[in-house]
Amino acid sequence: MKMLSAVMKLAAPPIMGASTAYEDNDAIPLPFSSTVKRMVLIIEDSYGIRAFMRHALITSGYDVFEAGTAFEAYRILRSNTIDAITLDLGLPDEDGLEFLRAIRSEGEGSFLAVTCPVIICSVRDDRGTRETAKKLGACAYLKKPFAIDDLISSVNEAVDPVVNAQN
Ligand code: CA
């Protein structure tokens, strides 16, 4: 409240007839901000697993894009803002770790430079793969088969680390 009164004192006196909507942005939450859904890109070539993940994420209030191949994922990433990615490593057209390297890379593939959190979802569970994924900036690693709760809590924490840290 202190912050708010300070802001209001600093604001220019209202001009007759001018809208004050701009100054009110801090005080009144816009319905817009509470209804905008976070967008998760599911990259997974198994239709069954993708459907399971889609259902779980939509039920938890997310919007989703789906890609069954790395090629489709590149296409989606080029033209959309994504808040989090779930990444299968065994994709038909490219290894998931190579895909991750490419979208993070500042060299070749830097046309994307994707910075959003990436959660690995894979049957692979060797230490080398986990370490490489971490080095490439993956924020979580879910071994298949994983529980819905683990998927949702990983995505929640990835998109809102402060809010969800204690949960
Ligand atoms: Ca796969």
pLDDT of residue 70 exceeding 70, the answer is yes
140 contacts 158 by C-beta, under 8 angstroms: yes
**Distance separating alpha carbons of residues 73 and 110, to the nearest angstrom:** 15
86 closest CA partner among 130, 161, 151, 157: 151
Ligand 1 mean position, distance from CA 97 (Å): 12
47 closest CA partner among 27, 19, 66: 66
Residue 115 sits in a domain whose CATH number is 3.40.50.2300
Domain-located, residue 4: no
Q: Any idea of the CA torsion for 64, 130, 150, 58, to the nearest 10 degrees?
A: 0
Domains in the chain: how many in total?
Answer: 1
**Distance separating alpha carbons of residues 74 and 30, to the nearest angstrom:** 33
| pLDDT recorded at residue 77 | 93
pLDDT of residue 1 exceeding 70, the answer is no
pLDDT of residue 54 exceeding 70, the answer is yes
Domain-located, residue 167: no
20 contacts 14 by C-beta, under 8 angstroms: yes
Chain Cα centroid distance, residue 121: 14
Domain-located, residue 128: yes
Ligand 1 mean position, distance from CA 47 (Å): 10
| pLDDT recorded at residue 87 | 98
Domain-located, residue 24: no
Domain-located, residue 165: no
Range of the domain at 137: 36-158
Ligand 1 mean position, distance from CA 33 (Å): 35
Domain-located, residue 2: no
C-beta atoms surrounding 28 within 10 Å: 8
| pLDDT recorded at residue 49 | 97
Domain-located, residue 166: no
Ligand 1 mean position, distance from CA 90 (Å): 4
Domain-located, residue 98: yes
Ligand 1 mean position, distance from CA 120 (Å): 11
Chain Cα centroid distance, residue 122: 18
Ligand 1 mean position, distance from CA 159 (Å): 24
**Distance separating alpha carbons of residues 131 and 136, to the nearest angstrom:** 9
